[in-house]
Structure 1
Amino acid sequence: MKNSLIVVLLLATGLPATAQNTAPLTARLDKVSLTFALSPNGQPTYTVQFGPKSVIKSSRLGLTLADGKGFDGPLEVTGSETKDVDESWNPVWGEVKTIRNHYQQLTVHLHQPQAPGRRLNVVFRVFSDGVGFRYEVPQQPGLSYFTVQEELTEFNLPANHKAFWIPGDYDSNEYSYSTTRLSEVNTTPIEAIQQKAAPNRIQTPLMLKSDDGLYVNIHEAALVNYPAMFLNVDTKTYGLRSQLVPDATGAKAYLQAPEHTPWRTIVVSDKAPEVLASKLILNLNEPTKFPTTDWIKPQKFVGVWWEMHVNKASWNYADTSNIKLAGTDWNRLKPNGRHGANTANVKRYIDFAAQHGLQSVLVEGWNVGWEDWANNWKEEVFDFVTPYPDFNVTELQQYAAAKGVQLMMHHETSGSVTNYERRQDAAYRFMKEHNYAAVKTGYVGRIIPRGEHHDGQWMVNHFNHTAALLGQNQLMVDMHESVRPTGLHRTYPNWLASEAARGNEFNAWSTGNLPEHETILPFTRLMGGPMDYTPGIFQIKLESWNPAQNKGRQVHTTLVKQLALYVTMYSPVQMAADLPEAYEQHLDAFQFIKDVAVDWDDTRILLAEPGEFITTARKAKGKEEWYIGSITDENPRQQVVKLDFLTPGQQYEATIYADGKGASWNKNPQAYQIRKQKVNSKSVLKLQLAAGGGAAISLKPAGK
């Protein structure tokens, strides 16, 4: 909803200008300024400043096309326009009730002085916290269909910044973050999950910190009909150059004029909390085109999921590794006795959700095919409508409805996306018929069509098409193994969350996530949109579920840090990820999960430093309730929190969930204490965070 709009248009046109006689063009807002110029050989370049400090040195712009006649040679400026926009809008759900969209736009019109004389526009938007820019190819004679071979965008940095990065794997984002200087970026020692990255290729969002106190984040916005952008690091000059994900032929994007690329984004501030508070990426996305959005419901859920990760149950119903499953009569197969998605077990989760006011129950492993899918690169595995014999769809639908709970669908595609697209209409009809309002999708394994990548143009279009198709059916979606988000939840607000990073599940079956991991993710992966991180694990030591298979495995946080993640790791769909029996042992701590909101009117990033700590306060949607989450890395620390964001004159009861005496993530992770005290807007809290720990606080008006 647009509340206000003020636009001033200034037009500058004239004769075509060469590099020698073109004055630099500028745009500015507050401390952020951008300058466009042609290099001596006619190549377009740009620079970015934050006050007197350099953010981006002179860096090249351009596109190369497959026909060899792209925008990589000399260009001339034929004109430019600037305009100022100041408006506000209300998201369907989000971290704040209203978002201001204030920027100065500079559009530069470029032309090839030599044949074929093609035209290209570069559009810059300068915000108070950064810059977005994209290429626009207008409709023109002699250029209709074209193929982008590469993008020449550079981000040349002025110094050897500290960087928080993961390898540039075209098929996975599920890595631990490395923290090094740019000169030390090297992916070679890192074991790739899907596809080995080039030694100096890394992913966005890339978080950087300069020695002179600037925080810089590089990413993209509105990734539509185009491959994801990776970055090649020059470890000697500290330059970054774009690298687009190729398709099976090596081409990057197949386009038709008029067309534009996604926005390239640079968020910058001299205060780390302001990076986390930025709405620049969201503002560069288009508003939703859904006619109504009242059916979109932020929510909390539990599910048949974690018990499979901790080896207490299985996704598959039978052990049938030696038979061909196509056409199998599943009722004749011998059950393995460990299938988690059975009717009785699902009812147990429904009962727990109903008892504690959680809206949904996710069930993974309900449908036939799990015996045949793992990394086999097979086309036909799941049909998304046929349940296993021990999963009674109708009975569970009726049982959940009677309890006031909805079931959440699960569609694992096994990477066979062509199969899923053939079956989507039937799968979504099945959901509607059986009262499923949301689906969690998965894309584990190599992609079919073979040769395509998770982050290439073909898959980007699939993810966007799936969100749109689900929206047309008034269904919500949580995508796993997807391309990393770029703010498209503004356009598709039914796209509640994605995974697209190394989630909490890695603590169950790998070396796990380092205690610093959750202090980095908000500065990297979450810059583009919400993550389904699946917090809320209470049974930190996993051996109790299956001693033989979980020996030595644990979640690398304290129990209280798991609570704090519901505030610091934003998502409108939050899972209480542990088993009901784990929560039943700690119902006093579980109260925070029951209370904490998933949709917000206001958010304040109180304290933050990437890789070290984050303290966030959020105000619940439509309520005078605030929630605070504070987390730390492997170092214990004290966080001093001023409550000056509270309503003056109002007294609140603070319920403080804190790490217990002697707590630490590795030696005593489940120790916690809960205390209450009265506070107001003049109060100051001193939070003691254990190593790998945190604090979680609810603030409710006193007497309520």
Structure 2
Amino acid sequence: MKLQAFSIALIALLCFSCNLRNDNSAKLKVESPNGKIAVELELDKLGQPFYHVQFNNKTVVDTSYLGFDFIDAKPIKDNLKVISASVNSFNETWEMPWGEQGKVENNYRYLTIQLEETVAPNRKIALTFKVYDDGIGFRYEFPEQDGWDEVLIKEEETQFNLTEDYMTFWIPGDWDIYEHLYSTTKLSEIDAPQYAEHVNLAQTYIPENAVNTPVTMVGNEGVHLSFHEAALVDYSGMTLKVDTENLSLKSHLVGSENTDYKVKRQLPFNTPWRTIQITDNAPELIASNLIVNLNEPNKLGDVSWFKPMKYTGVWWEMHLGKSSWDYGMEMVDGQWTDTGKAHGRHGATTENVKRFIDFSAKNNIGGVLVEGWNTGWERWIGFEDREGVFDFVTPYPDYDLDEVTRYAKEKGVEIIMHHETSAATETYEKQQDTAYALMQKYGMHAVKSGYVGKILPKGEYHHGQYMVNQYNNAAIKAAKYEVAVNAHEPIKATGLRRTYPNIISREGLRGQEFNAWAEDGGNPPEHLPIIAFTRMLAGPIDFTPGIFNIKFNEYKTQNQVNTTLAQQLALYVLIYSPIQMAADLVEHYEANPEPLQFIKDVGVDWSDTKVLNGVVGDYVTIARKEKDTGNWFVGGITDENARDIDIDFSFLDKNEDYEVRIYKDGTDAHWDKNPLDIQIEILDIDASSTLKINLAEGGGFAISLIKK
């Protein structure tokens, strides 16, 4: 619901005309509401548009040109003139149906400029810059016009020329996957191609020295920048090509082997927003709402049929090797073979799922995810042609869908559907209506979708225009059946959860499962303190926290989770998602009832969020207030370095009493040597309290503050 909105014209063409010069060059300026960020847009003597960005009166993005290269048409980047321009302001407050906070302020000033070529064919294009107190967003707009109906974009020529050699937190500009570890280097030292053909990745393609977004940078004087995009619809995902000598980034769109263009669109249309979050400290990056604000308002209306929830599921046990996704696959003569008989290791059985339902019902956990329930798992591993392999409505013989859903409903637990498409897009498209209708029949309102493997049809990549449309269209169709989507192996999050609130979460990073099977030792302790300031800026993450059996030596002696137990609890507050998994096995939770209490108590939907402290890649502490109850929860984590964290509880409600439990690293805790050492304390804390907490190497802490 929009609470207030107004738009005021500040500068009209009369004022703009003062900046026109005889050589047809022009200069326009727009500032953020607080005046700290300013954007200047100019045309040079050749009619080429370029822009600058200042923060606190210092240039952070220097002369950067804008334009496009097309197939079978000349570029549009010079010989342009201004035909109109204006600067306006806008301010509204809108409500999130679920999110990190209840209400979001959307306050910005914006510049819109209409351009036209001075030579034939006299094409028109527009630019809009929105300037917020926490950053900027700009996009290209192709208006309807005579003689120009369709564009075939070869490349978008958007530049970001930087003014210093920033410390940069980046993953390579892979066209097929985001599941790389983050590197921390100077901008001038980025070398993305070194990560090509990574052993742990199901698919990968890195054609240039480019980075994926969000990519976050920290300057020598504390300036923090994060580059990304918003409202990615019917367009190709953008990587950023790196010029290490000139400290420059340039848009490099994901392409296809099947076309010589990267984007095909009919006029009129707008590109996604190109975004730069700009702050003078790390916590404000997380607090920023720039990405969601640049998306259109809710188009679905009432989505109360989806309830944010915690969930358990048949998932982690298969990564550990305790059970399998398939029903009857055996190693015969050195090859995986479908024997047609149950091998006894299948995880998604009626009996096993009922165990998870019982546990969830007992422990304030609303859902159970069931992977491996449907036929096809025997036939997709190792097969290049995966079209027609999976059936999204037919269960295995040992999984009674009617009985499981009946039992779950009786216990007050919702079954979360799983659709592993194996990246066979045509098969999934054909079955979507039937699959979603099945979910609607059984009262299932959430699906985890997966797209493991090379995209079919061959030649397409996970992050190109073809797949952007696949992901978005699947979610839009799901909404018609009251189904919310949690996508894995996805396109990047760009804030579309505002427009389509049934886009609840997604993977899009190197997740918890890498700790169970990656050959490089799993995710290092610095991984999540980087993720909080990079990937999490894009939107909710289905990271699957809550592993209590850190070492799992009874299953795998060469792998482990590289955090302490206390950090696993902290992740429920730190890594935001409206759908949070208690990922470990039932028996591991039942053996640890005291830390399990935090998972039982912690919320998943918030009315307020406070980022209390943080340094990119080192540590971060976040406090969140649960919607409806008013209870607060705090989570803090560190990298491989132990450290003391000071907490000021002035964010708490005044004159309120809380029952406070602190789950923190024990005195001998260490992510590798002693990860299970945890201390649980009950304290008296109110809004006047302060507290110092010691975090072990790879450690963390979690605090529940339950209103009495």
Normalised by the size of structure 2, how large is the TM-score? Answer: 0.96
Moved more, 382-391 or 14-23: 14-23
Query: Equivalent residue of 1:188, what SS?
Result: helix
The answer for the alignment partner of 1:437 in structure 2 is 445
Is residue 134 of structure 2 the alignment partner of residue 129 of structure 1?
yes
- Report what 2:583 is aligned to: 577
Q: 1:431: how far off? A: 1.2
- Are residue 649 (structure 1) and residue 658 (structure 2) matched? no
**What SS does the aligned partner of 1:249 have?**
coil
CA contact under 8 A between 1:296 and 1:493: conserved in structure 2?
no
Shift, 1:435, TM fit? 2.4
1:660 to 1:19, Cα distance in 2 relative to 1, 3 A: farther
Counterpart amino acid of residue 381 in structure 1: V
Count of matched residue positions in the alignment of Structure 1 and Structure 2: 692
Task: Indicate the SS of the match to 1:679.
Answer: coil
Q: Is 1:321–1:372's contact at 8 Å kept on the other side of the alignment?
A: no
**For 1:383 and 1:347, how far apart are their aligned partners in 2?**
23
2:75 matched to which residue of 1? 70
Give the counterpart of 1:244 among 253, 277, 282.
253
Partner of 2:702: 696
1:685 aligned residue (691, 701, 704)? 691
Q: State how far apart, in whole Å, the 1-side matches of 2:706 and 2:39 are.
A: 45
- Listed one character per residue, the Cα deviations across residues 219-271 of structure 1 (whole Å, up to 9, x for unaligned) are 00000000110001100111000000112223111101110100000000101
Q: Does 1:486 align with 2:494?
A: yes
1:383 to 391, 399, 404: 391
3-state SS of 1:394 partner:
helix
Q: Distance in 2 between matches of 1:296 and 1:387?
A: 24
1:375, CA displacement in angstroms? 4.6
Letter matched to residue 43 of structure 2: L
Partners of 1:284 and 1:84 lie apart in 2 by 14
Q: Contact 2:71/2:260 (CA < 8 Å) preserved in 1?
A: no
Counterpart of 1:343 in structure 2 is 350
**Structure 2 CA distance for aligned equivalents of residues 255 and 282 of structure 1:** 24
2:220 is aligned with 1:211: yes
- 3-state DSSP class of the match of 1:84? strand
The CA distance in 2 between the partners of 1:83 and 1:438, in whole Å, is 40
1:81 equivalent in structure 2: 86
Give the aligned partner of residue 510 of structure 2: 502
SS in structure 2 at match of 1:542: coil
Indicate yes or no: 2:57 matched with 1:49.
Answer: no
2: CA distance, partners of 1:20 / 1:569: 53
> Partners of 2:154 and 2:22 in 1: how far apart?
25
Aligned pairs for 1:587-626 within 5 A: 587-626=593-632
Verify the 8 A CA contact 2:612 2:647 in the aligned structure 1: yes
Determine the C-alpha separation between the residues in 2 that align with 1:303 and 1:696.
23
Is the 2:49–2:78 Cα contact (8 Å) retained in structure 1?
no
Query: CA 1:312–1:565 in 2, change beyond 3 Å: closer, same or farther?
Result: same
Q: 1:165 to 1:375 in 2, by over 3 A?
A: farther
Which residue identity does 1:691 align to in structure 2? E
Distance across 1 between alignment mates of 2:375 and 2:170: 38
Distance 1:432 1:680 in 2: 45
Alignment-derived partner of residue 106 in structure 1: 111
More deviation, 89-98/13-22: 13-22
**In 1: Cα distance, 2:40 partner to 2:475 partner:** 37
Choose the corresponding residue for 1:554, options 554, 560, 563: 560
Tell me, yes or no, if the aligned pair for 1:321 and 1:371 is still in contact at 8 Å. no
Report how far residue 616 of structure 1 moved: 0.3
Deviation at 1:316, TM superposition (A): 0.6
Query: Cα deviation per residue 1:306-332 (whole Å; 9 max; x = unaligned)?
Result: 000011110011126789xxxx9x9x8
Give the Å deviation of 1:212: 1.6
**Where in structure 1 are there 5+ consecutive unaligned residues?**
none
Aligned to 2:5: 5
Mean CA deviation greater in 61-70 or 392-401:
61-70
User: 1:291: how far off?
Assistant: 3.0
Alignment-derived partner of residue 322 in structure 2? 312
State yes or no: 1:408 paired with 2:409.
no
**Deviation, structure 1 residue 42:** 1.8
Q: 1:542 aligns with which of 545, 552, 560?
A: 552
Task: Measure, in 2, the Cα distance between the counterparts of 1:231 and 1:189.
Answer: 16
Q: 1:251 to 1:375 in 2, by over 3 A?
A: farther
Misfit runs of 4+, over 4 Å: 13-19, 320-323
Q: 1:203 to 1:314 in 2, by over 3 A?
A: same
Shift of 1:599: 0.4
Corresponding residue SS for 1:73: coil
Provide the C-alpha distance between the structure 2 equivalents of 1:515 and 1:147, rounded to a whole number of angstroms. Answer: 44
Aligned to 2:287: 277
Q: How far apart in 1 are the matches of 2:517 and 2:443? A: 33
CA distance in 2, matches of 1:273, 1:138: 39
RMSD of aligned C-alpha atoms?
1.7
Report the residue type matching 2:413 in the other structure: V
Q: Secondary structure at the match of 1:399?
A: helix
Match of 1:454 in 2: 462
Query: Please, which runs of 5 or more residues in structure 2 have no aligned partner?
Result: none
Q: How does the TM-score come out when normalised to structure 1?
A: 0.96
In the TM superposition, what are the counterparts of 1:282-431 in structure 2 within 5 Å? 282-319=292-329, 333-378=340-385, 379-431=387-439
Q: 1:377·1:448 contact (CA, 8 Å) conserved in 2?
A: no
| Distance in 2 (alpha carbons) for counterparts of 1:572 and 1:348 | 24
Cα deviation, residue 189, structure 1:
2.8
Secondary structure of the corresponding residue to residue 419 of structure 1: helix
- The one-letter code sitting in structure 2 at the alignment partner of 1:12 is L
User: What is the deviation of 1:6?
Assistant: 2.2
